[in-house]
Amino acid sequence: MAKLFLGSTFSIFHSRHIRPPLAGCHVTKMTVANHHPSLEVVGGARDRFLLSLHTNLRLPYNPFPLIAWNRHVETIFASFFRSIPQVRLRRECLRVKDGGSVALDWISGDHRRLPPDSPVLILLPGLTGGSQDSYVRHMLTKANGKGWRVVVFNSRGCGESPVTTPQFYSASFLGDTYEVVKHVGARYPEANLYAVGWSLGANILVRYLGKESHACPLSGAVSLCNPFNLVIADEDFHKGFNNVYDKALARALCKIFKKHALLFEDMGGEFNIPLAANAKSVRDFDEGLTRVSFGFKSVDDYYSNSSSCDSIKHVQRPLLCIQAENDPIAPSRAIPREDIEENPNCMLIVTPKGGHLGWVAGAEAPLGAPWTDPVVMDFLEYLEQGASKTGKFLGDSEAVQRSSGELHHMEV
């Protein structure tokens, strides 16, 4: 794994887009702003994106004292005690092709306040999450404060989104994501589209990026706390204190299910409705309902075929992945580091601490926005600046195609 150190230099022609100079030509050297050694920063797009993030990444990752000493303390603190910014939202219920519904929450007044070409950011919360969650609200207000139009994609049953068919969402199902992105793009055809996903939302987002590949209408994306490999995540979910999270998420799933239980009356076949309604673990819920709804032979089959780790190699849009080394729910060993390093469109940042959806560090700790928010916005604003110049921020391979036959150059 190649590593850079503070003050390191490299020749301009080391970039794959730039040809070596002819013999006798002077070779210019430049210094690349680097990251602090407390952070792991790798990826095929690292050199391309690192300069835009150096303001935040050159500083040490300093977790907040007492709270961040333990990954479970940090995870629980962020979930229960992080502030929730107040913002007025306008809900749009979108009916999708199969008769199901999702809820899109926009910031009230933005349709009139912002110009039609303002960049649009789609937010995909984690399992059972929605626009009410603190980490979603902080990202929403941070982006909106910089002139971005933001919409929260509340999946079926999440964030009080209506359930109108006997089917919830899952890690495997991308149909709603396709329709939401298409709908948002049609509403603001002059704007560039971006997305940020957390946890299961990040897994779904990365799978979408991989499936769409070169045809993806997004100009860039960010994945946070992605479990990547659901088989490995499930293994760790049943160890020690992690059982607390498993039971909490199972209760949240059961609560959503029971609100709409009448839709699932008289379901035959392999469905086990009593097991889903009284699930003691996420695996129980997936066995009773999810894996049957989406046509999988077993829960393990569902987890194996719904993991986003296999999608990284197909991503053709700029993608920033941020993980915490000590995440109890998205294990570090599940990160597809090799594929991220080999993909010229991907970059990975791993913090030494952070828990799951915690990152209680940075200028706003302990009650304010997570450490990741300014990093995410720096990345997205860098992409938007590039997209504004070219009409779309191109993936690495597309950039090569466009530059064919043209002069090779680099702006420093």
Residues 6 or more apart in contact with residue 219 via CB below 8 angstroms:
119, 192, 193, 194, 317, 318, 383, 384, 387, 392, 393
Residues 6 or more apart in contact with residue 294 via CB below 8 angstroms:
170, 172, 173, 302
pLDDT tens, 17-62? 334 444 444 444 334 458 899 999 999 999 999 988 988 999 999 9
| Percent of the chain scoring above 70 in pLDDT | 86
pLDDT tens, 94-115? 999 999 999 999 999 999 999 9
Mean pLDDT estimate for the chain: 89
Active site residues: 199, 327, 356
Q: Are 199 and 227 in contact (CB under 8 A)?
A: yes
Whether 333 shows a pLDDT value over 90: the answer reads yes
Which range has the worst mean pLDDT, 87-96, 160-169, 225-234, 374-383?
160-169
Residues 6 or more apart in contact with residue 68 via CB below 8 angstroms:
74, 353, 354, 355, 358, 360, 361
Q: Are 353 and 327 in contact (CB under 8 A)?
A: no
Which residue from 315, 320, 342 is spatially nearest to 210, judged by alpha carbons?
315
Q: How high is the pLDDT of residue 398?
A: 54
Q: How high is the pLDDT of residue 410?
A: 31
Which residue from 203, 208, 94, 191 is spatially nearest to 152, judged by alpha carbons?
94
| Percent of the chain scoring above 90 in pLDDT | 83
Q: How high is the pLDDT of residue 391?
A: 57
Whether 16 shows a pLDDT value over 60: the answer reads no
Dihedral sign of CA atoms 127, 308, 170, 268 in order: negative
Residue 112 is encoded by which pair of tokens?
């009139």
Q: Band of the pLDDT at 15, cuts 50, 70, 90?
A: very low
Q: How high is the pLDDT of residue 34?
A: 81
Q: Band of the pLDDT at 407, cuts 50, 70, 90?
A: very low
Amino acid identity for residue 285 in this structure: F
Q: How high is the pLDDT of residue 5?
A: 32
Euclidean distance between CA atoms 316 and 343, whole angstroms = 8
Which range has the worst mean pLDDT, 265-279, 328-342, 353-367?
265-279
Q: How high is the pLDDT of residue 266?
A: 84
Q: How high is the pLDDT of residue 395?
A: 60
pLDDT tens, 191-227? 999 999 999 999 999 999 999 999 999 999 999 999 9
Whether 274 shows a pLDDT value over 80: the answer reads yes
**Radius of gyration for the alpha carbons in the chain, expressed in angstroms and rounded:** 22
Q: Band of the pLDDT at 390, cuts 50, 70, 90?
A: low
Q: What is the mean pLDDT of residues 377-385?
A: 97
The answer to whether the pTM exceeds 0.85 is yes
Architecture of the structural domain at 40-228+309-390: 3-Layer(aba) Sandwich (3.40)
Whether 394 shows a pLDDT value over 80: the answer reads no
Helix (H) or strand (E) holding 195: strand 193-198
Whether 401 shows a pLDDT value over 50: the answer reads no
Q: What is the mean pLDDT of residues 157-185?
A: 96
Cis peptide before 227 (omega within 30 of 0): no
**What are the backbone dihedrals phi and psi of residue 325, each rounded to the nearest 5 degrees, phi first?**
-60, -30
Helix (H) or strand (E) holding 181: helix 175-187
pLDDT tens, 225-256? 999 999 999 999 999 999 999 999 999 999 99
Residues 6 or more apart in contact with residue 359 via CB below 8 angstroms:
78, 324, 351, 370, 371, 372
Q: Band of the pLDDT at 68, cuts 50, 70, 90?
A: very high
Q: What is the mean pLDDT of residues 163-171?
A: 94
Which range has the worst mean pLDDT, 122-136, 301-315, 384-398?
384-398
Q: In terms of pLDDT, which residue wins out, 396 or 280?
A: 280
Domain boundaries, the chain: 40-228+309-390, 230-306
Three-state DSSP class for 201?
helix
Whether 71 shows a pLDDT value over 90: the answer reads yes
User: Taking the CA of residue 109 as centre, how many other CA atoms within 13 Å lie in the half-sphere pointing to its CB?
Assistant: 5
Question: In Å, what is the CA distance from 278 to each residue of 155, 239, 285?
Answer: 21, 21, 8
Cα of 338 vs its chain's centroid, Å: 19
Beta bridge partners, 350, equal 40, 323
Residue 201 is encoded by which pair of tokens?
């939302």
